[in-house]
Amino acid sequence: MQQYDAPASEDKELVYYIEESHRIVPLGLSKKKQKELGLNQETN
């Protein structure tokens, strides 16, 4: 994803996509590897 000289209102959308990618990509890892890396930890 790229963003060129976009209005500030579009920054929120870009931040959303980046945060979602950081959440989704580790889901492809094993639960063991996720735990080792401290990713996608539920806060209960």
pLDDT in tens, 26-42: 889 999 998 999 886 66
22 within 8 A of 38, measured Cβ to Cβ: no
What is the pTM (predicted TM-score) of this model? 0.56
- Candidates 37, 14, 13; CA nearest to 25 is 37
37 within 8 A of 26, measured Cβ to Cβ: yes
d(CA 39, CA 5): 32
d(CA 27, CA 6): 30
Q: For the chain, report the end-to-end CA distance as a whole number of angstroms.
A: 33
Structure confidence at residue 13 as a pLDDT band (50, 70, 90): confident
